[in-house]
Structure 1
Amino acid sequence: MPIHHALVLNFHQPPNNLDDLLETNPWEVKEILFAMDRMPRALWGYEDVARVHLSMSGTLLETLSSPEFQEKVYGVVKVGDLLWQLQNTRLFEILGTGYYHPVLPLIPKEDWQEQLSRWRGLAQHLFWREDFGGFWPPEMGFTEELIPLLKRMGYRYVLVDDVYLEPAEGEMSWPELRYRPHVAEFGGEEIIVIPRERELSNAQLSGMDPDWFENEVKERTKFCDFEPLVTTASDGDNGGWFRNYTEESNFWHAFYQPFLNKARLTGEVMPTYIEDYITKHGVGGKVKVKKGAWNTEMHYGDDFTQWTGTQEQKDALARIHEISDALHFVKSQRKDSSPRNPEHVDYHFGEAYWRLLRAETSCNLYWGKAWVQKVHDDLDASCAELDNARRGF
């Protein structure tokens, strides 16, 4: 029986990072932009078989859609053309995510909806569509408590790391648990969960041979009594495998094009959109998904130590929750009272809120001492705006 492969690539740049790099390391900006621009160029002529899922953070899309940034990199990559090419639904499926790329289980629940809604507002405009079927949790940081919100926002499925899955009832074989969609439930709401194959995803990030990949996939799924879905997900612009501009040495030309050519020829391992697989083959049983994130470098991800391992990180997270509580208290005051100057309150509250959301960016915590001050800078600005908002009551 055929084996179905879902390719997922994650793209994220922190707020203003590409603009800053243009001043300090312009060649790195070129590598990043080339890695993105290479995708549609490598796939021209493969519309019949290529299928790529893309997650692009709101802060990255904000930069790419900025006329000022596009002018700065004119002559390197035509970013406007790139965004237009990514609208090609025969090649690309855009996944929903969070605007400022927060690790959602670590930030206040009250901020989840705003992170997701702001991303949708920008993505709907850039990609000319109303709905996005799948959701990519930033850093694959997932908790089942997200399920009701994802359902309200119209998502059909969410990607999770396979190491956190366990059967909710009965037993499942090792390949059944990893190579078919399942259903998870929380608070009376259900959503389809798509397991990310962690080990093959590691190979995708570091570099792999198409024949090795096909043989490995066949070996791992040989005991399946259903048509398996193998989902590999990694960053799409980090590491030499994706940034290398030499065709013989990068993901698209050394791996994906030969893989597509063989898929055309044999049909044994076929690229697919997750949405199409679900529609045709349905889902398996019910599962539980333990809270966790994907693996980065030497970190497993189950304890979020990449973002919470030091006292500086813990202090920054605690302050995020503190300021968020204060902000939502003012929001409830605005709803339950009639301020003297409502326009003043609303303006400064909005200014305070987006700075809080930006403080929640995962990179601010991940890079520890080098970046954690960015959290406090944004929170300081948020507090100042919140004080201005209070003066309007």
Structure 2
Amino acid sequence: MLNNTIYHALVLNLHQPSGNLEHLLKHNLWEAKEILWALDRIPRSLWGYEDVARVHLAMSGTLLETLKKPEFQDQVYGITKTGDLLWQLQNTQIFEILGTGFYHPVFPLTPDADWAEQLQRWQQMGQHLFWRTQFDGFWPPEMGFCMEMIPYLKRMGYRYVLVDSEHVEPVDDDMSWQELRYRPHIAEYDDDEIIIIVRDRELSNAQESGMDFGWFEHEAHERTKWCNFAPLITTCTDGDNGGWFRNTNLSSNFWYVFYRQFLDEVRQGYTKLRPTFIDEYLNKHGAYGQVKVRTAAWNTGIHDGVGFVQWTGSDVQKQALERLSQVSTQFHELKNQAQEAPHSVDIQHLLSEAHWHLLRAETSCHFFWGESWVSRSHADLDIVEHLLTQITASNERMS
């Protein structure tokens, strides 16, 4: 029997690098306003749609850190009230908050010794700002995923992780194209299992560039018409980049052109599509079949995510990533030594300072823009190396 209801999970990534909004406020005020209004527009556009709207948001730790600062809130007063925004996003009828990495690293390109801290720091921030202890879904920054991440995500309590459709492969060959793309699956690594939620790449591309509801509805029907199960279509894009999301003209904006029409059609019973939270779908329909996921990222412009070419395409990018790995190794060696022997409060402070600079050096944006932002990673690594030199000297004095 073919399925009647088509479920849709909307996922939006929201990220600004550390200090970027403050910089834009000084040097490109209009762009800063566009970003802040794009964020503020999300809850405002959905007021009164609690019965049907379902939106997943992945907000980087650096963005959350900026939005919660009292001095930043004072600075942008008159543009938007970011304190109110954070409060509005606690509406669990409309929003499901996804966990992520604090400094938005591409995890497979980041030393795995730093994974746990990137995860834990975001959880501490998320639990504080959103008044909850559990986040079921995980958003890998840039959708950069590898199977080795699964044990780390399970230890943090995540139930599912989002990955791009082009990198998911069935363990058994008898899984149809529709089953592979429109059902949740199970992936296993070292005896740990996690649910895989598959992003539809083509429909996500349309969501990013602009689409009307009629087109999306037709595509959804055509792609799922042979499903003998309840299909879950998952679309994932940035939610604060590009004119479709930033446009201040409401007649040319994602929320008012596409999503509110979608919600109105649902309310009036004119469509088989239904917005859903991924957790609600899993509770009702579960996951099906074993898959493995290739190490890769989502598509970025002309790059398909394989090989992480967007972040590793030049020698300058590769050399910076190699240096990052070397400095991370040095940091963790000193940190482990400090844990094994008596150490001063000063060394603890130096280690703490070095640690967050190391983690910030791993921000994906430092490598995304070709070679233009690589110097930002090097600047943080310079600070880390300077602090590690001080720690080494202090250890020698104490021995």
Q: What is the distance in 2 between the residues matched to 1:344 and 1:25?
A: 39
Q: Return the letter of the residue paired with 1:302.
A: V
> Equivalent residue for 1:127?
130
Report the equivalent of 2:218: 215
Residue 347 of structure 1 pairs with residue 349 of structure 2: yes
Residue number among 25, 29, 33 corresponding to 1:30 in the alignment: 33
Q: Distance in 1 between matches of 2:267 and 2:146?
A: 38
- Candidates 5, 9, 16, aligned match of 2:8: 5
Matched, 1:302 2:302: no
Quote the offset at 1:227 in angstroms. 0.5
Corresponding residue number in structure 2 for 1:324: 328
Match of 2:61 in 1: 58
Post-superposition Cα deviations, 1:235-287, rounded to whole Å, max 9, x if no partner, equal: 00111100111111100000000001111222510000000000000111000
Which residues in structure 2 correspond to 1:217-236 (within 5 Å)?
A: 217-236=220-239
- Alignment of 1:313 with 2:306, yes or no, is no
User: What amino acid is aligned across from residue 190 of structure 1 in structure 2?
Assistant: E
- In the alignment, structure 1 residue 206 sits paired with structure 2 residue 209: yes
Match of 2:381 in 1: 379
User: Cα offset for 1:322?
Assistant: 0.3
| Distance in 1, Cα, partners of 2:324 & 2:34 | 33
1:391 maps to what in 2? 393
Query: How do residues 210-289 of structure 1 correspond to structure 2 at under 5 angstroms?
Result: 210-266=213-269, 268-289=272-293
SS in 2 for 1:369: coil
Distance 2:267 2:144 in 1: 35
Q: Which residue is 2:361 aligned to?
A: 359
Among 190, 194, 198, the alignment partner of 1:191 is 194
Aligned residue number for residue 293 of structure 1? 297
What amino acid is the match of 1:356? L
Count of paired positions: 391
**Corresponding residue number in structure 1 for 2:84:** 81
In the TM superposition, what is the alpha-carbon distance from 1:83 to its structure 2 partner?
0.5
Could you state the TM-score of these two structures normalised by the residue count of structure 2?
0.97
Unmatched runs of 5 consecutive residues or more in structure 2: none
How many Å separate the matches in 1 of 2:315 and 2:248?
40
* C-alpha deviation, 1:391, in angstroms: 3.0
Question: Secondary structure of 2:18's match?
Answer: coil
Helix, strand or coil: the match of 2:9?
Answer: strand
Residues 193-242 of structure 1 show CA distances to partners (whole Å, capped at 9, x for unaligned) of: 00000000000000001011011001000111100000000000111100
Task: Give secondary structure in 2 for the equivalent of 1:7.
Answer: strand
Opposite residue 301 of structure 1, the aligned amino acid is G
Distance apart, 1:369 and its partner CA: 2.3
Q: What percent identity do the matched residue pairs reach?
A: 59
Q: What is the Cα-based RMSD across aligned positions, in Å?
A: 0.8
Structure 1 position 156 matched with structure 2 position 159 = yes
Contact 1:214 / 1:269 at 8 angstroms: preserved in 2? yes
Mapped partners of 1:70, 1:391: distance in 2: 41
